[in-house]
Amino acid sequence: MGDQTVVITDTGEFDPGPAVELLTDSGFTVDVLGTTERSRIAAEAHRAVVLVVHDARIDASLLDQLPQLRLIVTMNPDYCDIDTEDAERRGVWVAQIPAGMDVEQIANHAIALSLAQLRRVASSSHPMTMGGGRPCDLTLGVVGMGAVGSRVAELSRPLFGRVVGTDARTRLWPQGVDRVGFAELIAISDVISLHMPLTPRTRGMIDAQTISWMRQGVILVNLSANDLISRPDLITALHTGKIAGLAANSVPEWERHASARCPLRSHPAVLLSPFGPDQTAEHARLRLLRVVRNVVNWSDRGIPLDPVPREASLPFAADNLPSAVAAH
């Protein structure tokens, strides 16, 4: 294997100790920086072949200073702070640790929020075009058919009249779920559930243009990153009734001014539901073990276990959307 240095910049709330021990036992040299400071990473990780990060920002200028780097493993659910396109051009793999044991919890939470919003809309005087708000008469659209999205689709099949999904990546497709393009899904769905990672390309993927394709009175559920949706365009759509309801996580960037009036938090059509999977010691151990397995698999076979999708393979790739959206 030769001298392969793994540098762990930061691991969020996780203790990197178990990962260090396992990687060392596997023959790697491991350095723990405990920082997201760019200057320190550039100075102390210049020999790194593998970089393990959580909140550190890895962009083209930093990659310029890490000439030996071949793999980045992120423990963050969103990898928008990693320039995946530039990494790909340099031949650097990017891997993301999946939700894993959280899949069932997140999927059930997404469905519960969908039903709660449908019940609210059905009991209100909203001029919705949907069939009385009954799930059996409606179409659920799932954007992003990874582990969580696929589970949402599977669990929703007995509840909704039709379930459709979109994901350009090749994978096993849940039985009974219709595979459609992104634009078609947006246009035909009564309830839309987002299960996409946040990347430079997916940021703002739900904007005024996309919203204009939606059915009047659509329900939007987002347990992924808030920045998938353009906030100003979302507020406008809520005020006009184009979007009859939004269900999302209650997250710090929306709650940091809790005493101030917020057009989203105070909107009657918005349901913000605090949610976080159980962060047990076993959960932490499994995530750190997955980091190690990604590094070892890349070293042995040339590919990590959990590579992030190539930008061109995302559900709204240029061949699936009009040019106005493909520009994101």
Domain membership flag for residue 75: yes
pLDDT digits 0-9 by tens, 207-236: 999 999 999 999 999 988 888 999 999 999
How far is it, in rounded angstroms, from Cα 140 to Cα 110?
12
Name the DSSP letter for residue 10: -
Find, among 19, 67, 61, 57, the residue nearest to 36 by Cα: 57
Residue 256 has pLDDT above 60, yes or no: no
Scored b (16 or more CB within 10 A) or e, 282-318 reads eebeebbebbbbbbbbbbeeeebbbebbeeeebbbbe
Give residue 257's pLDDT. 47
Q: Do 146 and 251 lie in a common domain? A: yes
Q: Which amino acid is at 310?
A: R
Place 262 in a pLDDT band, splitting at 50, 70 and 90. Answer: confident
Q: Give the domain-ending residue among 272, 303, 321.
A: 272
Q: Do 79 and 13 lie in a common domain? A: yes
Domain membership flag for residue 53: yes
Domain membership flag for residue 320: no
pLDDT digits 0-9 by tens, 46-87: 999 999 999 899 999 999 999 999 999 998 766 667 888 899
Select the more confidently predicted residue: 130 or 24: 24
How far is it, in rounded angstroms, from Cα 209 to Cα 147?
28
Residue 31 has pLDDT above 90, yes or no: yes
**Average pLDDT across the chain, whole number:** 84
Place 103 in a pLDDT band, splitting at 50, 70 and 90. Answer: confident
CATH value at residue 126:
3.40.50.720
Q: Give the domain-ending residue among 272, 299, 322.
A: 272
Residues 6 or more apart from 225 whose CB is under 8 A from it? Answer: 77, 78, 80, 197, 198
What does the pLDDT average to over 7-36? 92
pLDDT digits 0-9 by tens, 11-22: 887 889 999 999
Q: What are phi and psi of 283, to 5 degrees?
A: -60, -45
Residue 39 has pLDDT above 80, yes or no: yes
Q: Do 160 and 60 lie in a common domain? A: no
Give residue 240's pLDDT. 94
Q: Give the domain-ending residue among 223, 242, 272.
A: 272
- How far the first Cα of the chain sits from its last, in Å, is 40
Q: Do 145 and 243 lie in a common domain? A: yes
Give residue 320's pLDDT. 46
Q: What are phi and psi of 192, to 5 degrees?
A: -120, 125
Q: Do 115 and 200 lie in a common domain? A: yes
Residues in the chain: 328
Q: Do 165 and 127 lie in a common domain? A: yes
Give residue 319's pLDDT. 41
Hey, which residues does 141 pair with through a beta bridge?
Answer: 164, 192
Residue 316 has pLDDT above 60, yes or no: no
Q: What are phi and psi of 235, to 5 degrees?
A: -60, -45
Q: Do 111 and 255 lie in a common domain? A: yes
DSSP codes, 189-217:
-SEEEE-----TTTTT-BSHHHHHHSPTT
pLDDT above 70 as % of the chain: 82
Q: Do 114 and 232 lie in a common domain? A: yes
Give residue 48's pLDDT. 96
Q: In what order do the strands lie in the sheet with 50-53?
A: 29-32, 5-8, 50-53, 71-74, 93-96
- Given its phi and psi angles, is residue 241 left (phi above 0), alpha (psi -120 to 50 degrees) or beta? left
Q: Do 235 and 304 lie in a common domain? A: no
Strands 5-8 and 50-53: parallel
Domain of residue 65, residue span: 5-99+280-313
Domain membership flag for residue 231: yes
Q: Do 222 and 150 lie in a common domain? A: yes
Q: What domain count does the chain have?
A: 2
Q: Do 167 and 260 lie in a common domain? A: yes
Place 276 in a pLDDT band, splitting at 50, 70 and 90. Answer: low
SS3 161: coil
Domain membership flag for residue 113: yes
Domain membership flag for residue 325: no
Q: Do 94 and 114 lie in a common domain? A: no
Domain membership flag for residue 286: yes
Tokens of 31: 């350095």
Place 197 in a pLDDT band, splitting at 50, 70 and 90. Answer: confident
Domain membership flag for residue 319: no
**Sign of the Cα pseudo-torsion (278, 279, 281, 286, in order):** positive
Give residue 12's pLDDT. 82
pLDDT digits 0-9 by tens, 120-170: 988 876 555 455 568 999 999 999 998 889 999 999 999 999 999 998 765
Nearest-10 Cα torsion for 77, 80, 84, 87 = -100
Q: 220 burial class (0-12, 13-18, 19+ CB within 10 angstroms)? A: buried
Q: Which pairs from 69-72 meet CB under 8 Å and 24+ separation?
A: 70/298, 71/95, 71/294, 71/295, 71/298, 71/304
